[in-house]
Amino acid sequence: MPTYKRPERLKRAVESVLNQSFKDFEIIIVNNADEKIILPIQDDRISVLQEEKKGANYARNKGIENAKADFICFLDDDDVYLDNHLETMHNMILKHDKKVALYRTFTNQEVLPGVFENQPVITKPNEDTALDHVMTILLVMHCVCCHRDILEKIKFDSSIPVAQDYHMWVRIVTEYPLIEIPSITTVYYYSSDSTSSPSLEKFLLYIDVYKKLFSLDKVKINLRKEIQHRRLFNYYNLILHCHLTELTFRMFVKIIWGSAHYKPSYMLNFEFYKLFAKYFISKLRN
């Protein structure tokens, strides 16, 4: 459980683990902040590692290195487990004879502040590969449990600031099975300071990270092109709709070209030309 200067949220996350119906676990908190954690909870199953600030993925890898169990779950400090999460995972792992795999459940998502919706429980269709499926669904960090053999071979990439979850899941499911449990077992909270909060800089980082991920041989060969293109087009399109007036002319051309490259039919859409007009009108007014 990586954490950085969010004591109240951390307390809520830790309490959600302590309230599990399944009791045989350890909690490893990796603190990335300079200040020591003062956690008003005492439990022998909790350990705290103090690490220099190198990001959440670095912290996750340190937690994995210090874990004692064969199966490792993840939880960010701003989300929580429902009390059935670990028991649901445990039962499914036993059902599959402790198979070395990526196990996942589903989440209840805060789509707007105070507004929650259950994620649609859609498991992998028989005709899809695990890789194709993972890239077309919401698969958040706290819904995953992995065998440590996987995590010793495939580590979180501490050099990337965004798409940290999918970057990991994609590399895992190119080599290991995906086992899905059709149950809602976690809560994914909306957070204005979350790493998933949108900004122009973050959208550009997502594009860069996904382009590099899709260039990996196993991913490039096995992930359908249409899925790769759809993911990249979505980020270009989000930039055009959320940050259009912030773009320099050179950046605007680059983003428009990227949108058209990954979805050529977009150039036949009236919306495409409305964006041109909106951009140039905004610049003339300035």
Averaged pLDDT, 50-71:
91
Q: Is the pLDDT of residue 86 over 90?
A: yes
Same domain, 181 and 71: yes
Do 180 and 258 fall within a single domain?
A: no
Question: Of 137, 163, 188, which closes a domain?
Answer: 188
Q: DSSP character for 191?
A: -
Write out the two tokens for 131. Answer: 């890789």
Instruction: Note whether residue 140 is domain-resident.
Output: yes
Q: Pick from 167, 188, 209: which residue ends a domain?
A: 188
Contact 102, 124 (CB under 8 A): no
Asked, for residue 124, whether it belongs to a domain, the answer is yes
Among 143, 160, 188, give the residue marking a domain's end.
188
Residue 197's pLDDT is what? 52
- CATH assignment of the domain containing 123: 3.90.550.10
User: Does residue 221 sit within a domain?
Assistant: yes
> pLDDT tier at 40 (50, 70, 90 boundaries)?
confident
Same domain for 14 and 138, yes or no, is: yes
Instruction: Name every residue whose Cβ is closer than 8 Å to that of residue 169 and which is 6 or more positions away in sequence.
Output: 102, 134, 139, 144
On whether both 92 and 121 belong to a single domain, the answer is yes
| pLDDT given at position 193 | 54
d(CA 49, CA 182) in angstroms, rounded, equals 33
Place of tokens 């501490």: 158
On whether residue 195 sits in a domain, the answer given is no
276 and 166 assigned to the same domain: no
In contact, 50 and 34? CB cutoff 8 Å: no
* Residues 131-184: tens digit of each pLDDT: 999 999 999 999 999 999 999 999 999 999 999 999 999 999 999 999 999 999
209 with 94, same domain: the answer is no
In the prediction, which pLDDT does 61 show? 95
88 and 177, same domain (yes or no): yes
Judge whether 251 lies within some domain: yes
Co-location of 96 and 230 in the same domain: no
Q: H or E segment at 136?
A: none
Is residue 194 a part of any domain in this protein?
no
Element housing 55 (H / E): none
104 lies in some domain: yes
Helix axes 225-242, 200-214, angle to 10 degrees: 170
Q: How far is CA 162 from the centre of its chain?
A: 8
How high is the pLDDT of residue 169?
97
pLDDT digits (tens, 9 = 90+) for 217-267: 999 999 999 999 999 999 999 999 999 999 999 999 999 999 999 999 998
pLDDT band of 33, cuts 50, 70, 90: confident
Rounded to the nearest integer, the mean pLDDT of the chain is 93
Nearest to 22 by CA among 84, 75, 71: 84
d(CA 284, CA 286): 5
- What pLDDT does 285 receive? 81
pLDDT above 60: residue 34 = yes
Of 21, 27, 1, 145, the residue nearest 83 (C-alpha): 21
186 vs 190: CA distance, rounded Å: 13
Q: Does 155 lie in the same domain as 105?
A: yes
Average pLDDT over residues 10-20: 97
The shares of helix, strand and coil residues in the chain, as percent rounded to the nearest 5, are: 45, 15, 35
Q: Is the pLDDT of residue 192 over 90?
A: no
Residue 116 lies in a domain: yes
Q: Where are the alpha helices (DSSP H) in 125-247?
A: 130-134, 148-153, 164-173, 200-214, 217-222, 225-242
What CA–CA distance (Å, rounded) separates 18 from 42?
Answer: 10
Residue of 250, 255, 213, 253 whose CA lies nearest to 237 = 255
Environment class of 117 (CB within 10 Å of its CB; exposed 0-12, middle 13-18, buried 19+): exposed
pLDDT of residue 195: 45
Do residue 108 and residue 243 come from a single domain?
no
Task: Tell me the CB-side half-sphere exposure of residue 212, using CA atoms within 13 A.
Answer: 14
**pLDDT tens-digit profile of 195-212?**
445 799 999 999 999 999
Residues 112 and 215 in one domain: no
Domain encompassing residue 270: 200-285
CA distance 145 to 52: 26
Spatial neighbors of 282 by CB under 8 A, at least 6 apart, are 244, 245
Residue pair 131/174 in contact by the 8 Å Cβ criterion:
yes
- Our count of domains for the chain comes to 2
Q: Are residues 209 and 176 in the same domain?
A: no
